[in-house]
Amino acid sequence: MTPRSRSISGWGAVGAGTLLANVIAYTLFLVLNRELAADDLGAVASLLNLVIIAGVAALSTQLVSAWRVALDRPDAHAAALRTGAIVGLIMSGTVAVVSPVLVPLLHLDGPLPVLLVAASMLPTCVTAGVQGSLQGSERFVALGIVYAMTSIIRTAGGAFAAWAGWGVTGVMALTTVAAWFMAFVAVLLVRDHVGRALHADVPTQVRRVLGGMAGTSALLVASTIDTPVARHVLSGADSGAYAVLSLFAKATFWGPAFLATVLFPHMSRAKGLRPLFVALGGTAAIVGVGVAVSALLSGPLVRIVGGPAYTHLADLVPAFTALGGAWALSQVLVFWGAARGRHVVGYLVWGAVGLATLVVELWRHDSVAEVATTFLVASVLVTVIGTAVSLPRRPKDPARR
């Protein structure tokens, strides 16, 4: 097989794995939408988004590991495993410590659901280390399989708990068990490096991961923070409605994510801008199609996702689709910066998200539309400004000086 053929098959494998993972993940919410009351749905959606937010270190772990493997650094694969385990322990402890604060903010009956989120951090970060090892070595078929299996196992656990009537705590418990099981399966893919990872002399990238979290993982927070914020400022019924609509944003955000993933090793080694333009152009095309389809078929789509009870929200579907699409474009810019050790766009994302959250808290919190459009404006501004700061400045002409 030629290098070009391997590249195309790799794109297809990651794209198929990402697509399948997203479809299965949305299936979980289709079940939750029908099995849980609106208030419980809002709570579960906020907690599942909290898993993603608390797992910001996971993406940083994956990207740092992929960068190290792509550049063929010594013990890179073993370092990825060791780094994932250490970072996971740090994140589990952090979430457990802040759980007393999160319980009242999310209107939960007790701390157990948040502690279950904490328990899922270690296996999530270990899996991320494996994903970085696969990504950096361009083992894209295996990477696509890991993406798909992670979503399938988690969805099966959460859906069964909801169907069995185990409530919010039951859903979170089985999704946590799924995270541990998937970590074990993922490690088997790099089992030749496990023994070496246990040696204390293996260099870890914990400091680099923690230092880059603010930049590389900003998009995970940006693409999910609006749902917990909506849970906090809206009524129980409205927060459930927001959780349903947020699925359209997540679909548009994660749909084209495979482009940035498969091009990241090339970004790490590239001398020019071609990988950036390919990723931006491909992502923009996918987002454009998604927004157009959501505008034309908003009614049927919202009935499929949420059921007849949410048909009145159809007019907001294009706005949520555009929200996810803008964050998808920003993700390409964040990855491009991470490949070069620059996190300007990531810091820009944090600033925009913080400002949008403050505006919602103080002013625009009277409806689902107000919360969504506030975050939409923030995402568009990040995309425009981020593109401008990511392109190299043209050198000054000495003759004009």
DSSP string, 36-49: S-HHHHHHHHHHHH
Residue 189 phi, psi (nearest 5) = -70, -20
What kind and span of H or E run contains 237?
A: helix 236-254
The pTM for the full model equals 0.69
Note the pLDDT of residue 350.
Answer: 84
Report the 10 Å Cβ neighbour count for 173: 19
Four-residue CA torsion sign, 383, 344, 19, 276: positive
- How far, in Å, CA of 170 to CA of 159, rounded? 10
* Backbone dihedral region for residue 266 (phi beyond 0: left; psi -120 to 50: alpha; all else: beta): alpha
Note the pLDDT of residue 63.
Answer: 84
- How far, in Å, CA of 401 to CA of 397, rounded? 6
**146 with 189: CB under 8 angstroms?**
yes
Taking CA atoms, 228 is separated from 44, 48, 243, 289, 372, in Å, by: 10, 9, 9, 28, 12
For the chain, how far is it from start to end, CA to CA, in angstroms?
53
Note the pLDDT of residue 10.
Answer: 58
Quick one: which of 50, 56, 55, 58 has its CA closest to 84?
58
Over the Cα atoms of the chain, what is R_g? 20
Residue type, 300: P
Note the pLDDT of residue 214.
Answer: 67
Note the pLDDT of residue 392.
Answer: 66
Note the pLDDT of residue 398.
Answer: 47
- How far, in Å, CA of 320 to CA of 291, rounded? 9
Quick one: which of 334, 206, 262, 203 has its CA closest to 15?
262
Find the angle CA(58)-CA(59)-CA(62) to the nearest 5 degrees: 90
For the chain, 401 residues long, the average pLDDT of each consecutive 10-residue run is 52 69 74 78 80 77 86 83 92 92 85 92 93 87 88 90 88 94 93 86 82 69 79 77 82 80 74 79 89 85 74 82 89 80 79 87 81 88 86 54 43
- How far, in Å, CA of 121 to CA of 91, rounded? 6
Cβ contacts of 256-261, under 8 Å, gap ≥ 24: 256/282, 256/283, 256/286, 256/287, 256/328, 257/18, 257/328, 257/331, 258/11, 258/14, 258/15, 258/17, 258/18, 258/19, 259/11, 259/283, 259/332, 260/331, 260/332, 260/335, 261/14, 261/18, 261/135, 261/143
Q: How many CA atoms lie within 13 A of 54 on its CB side?
A: 31
**240 with 34: CB under 8 angstroms?**
no
The DSSP-derived string for 120-169 is THHHHHHHHHHHHHHHHTT-HHHHHHHHHHHHHHHHHHHHHHHHTT-HHH
Note the pLDDT of residue 317.
Answer: 85
Find the angle CA(127)-CA(59)-CA(273) to the nearest 5 degrees: 130
Residue 278 phi, psi (nearest 5) = -65, -45
**143 with 134: CB under 8 angstroms?**
yes
Work out the widest C-alpha separation in the chain, in whole angstroms.
75
Q: How many CA atoms lie within 13 A of 255 on its CB side?
A: 24
Under DSSP, is residue 74 helix (H, G, I), strand (E, B) or coil? coil
Note the pLDDT of residue 236.
Answer: 73
Note the pLDDT of residue 217.
Answer: 65
